[in-house]
Amino acid sequence: MTDKQHITIKGVKEGLVFLLDDKCEFSALLDELQFKLEKSHQQLLTGPIVHVHVKLGARQASEEEKESIKAAIRQRGNLLVQSVESDVPQEPEGENPHNLKVHTGIIRSGQTLEHNGSLLLMGDVNPGGTLLCTGDIYVLGALRGLAHAGMQGREESIIAASLMRPTQLRIGEVISRPPDEWMSGDAAMEFAYLSEGVMKIDKMTQLHRLRIQPVVFKA
């Protein structure tokens, strides 16, 4: 087999690090791993117990694939696999608006519910109650208190409620006390959003006009 250099093995203080190419086919990766373990790197891999950390780069390997890697390395009795990890980039704090929190209950006067992401409240927000989120806010009930969506400047965030009667709405840095015409008495769920820096309200059935892609929540 030709050494294609999809795998780099480095010695570190804790043992060995196997750096695996995240762009090649997994089967080719496994073949090269077997080759290096059995042929080209025998001298490096011999000796007493050696701790091994496997780095997969951006590859999202299944548990079965990870187990295949571990099994191949374990064939050398002195190699002890400590970890098989992907370098998944972490989203900065407040940058995952679809991190959905579901909360059931009533937010009473003086209570504040805060979440880093989007919030689905199954209940009412009483006058004096507050919802604070970096993403969207959805209230399956009456919103009669204060709601602040897009706290860290996400002006595309929305605030939706089955009954929209808030004392104050805030999206990003825009604050609005709903005008009387918002009190339509319509039974349809409504949502508030920003359009050119101005807060507006519409029925939830019109949300697709604001967001071409469907909203996807990740619990």
Task: Residue 177: give the domain boundaries.
Answer: 100-210
Domain annotation covers residue 219: no
Phi, psi dihedral angles at 201 (to 5 degrees): -130, 145
Specify whether 104 is located in the same domain as 206. yes
- Is 153 found in the same domain as 126? yes
pLDDT, one tens digit per residue, over 100-148 is: 899 999 999 999 999 999 999 999 999 999 999 999 999 999 999 999 9
User: Roughly how many angstroms between the first and final C-alpha of the chain, as a whole number?
Assistant: 45
**pLDDT digits 0-9 by tens, 65-87:** 899 999 988 887 788 888 888 87
Cα 2 to Cα 25: distance, rounded to the nearest angstrom: 15
Q: How confident is the model at residue 219 (pLDDT cuts 50, 70, 90)?
A: very low
How buried is 142 (Cβ within 10 angstroms: 0-12 exposed, 13-18 middle, 19+ buried)? middle
Q: Is pLDDT above 60 for 14?
A: yes
Q: Are 178 and 198 in contact (CB under 8 A)?
A: no
| pLDDT class of 90 with cuts at 50, 70, 90 | very low
Cα 81 to Cα 92: distance, rounded to the nearest angstrom: 30
**Based on the domain organization, do 109 and 79 belong to the same domain?**
no
Tally of structural domains, the chain: 2
Question: Tokens 């050494």 map to which residue?
Answer: 3
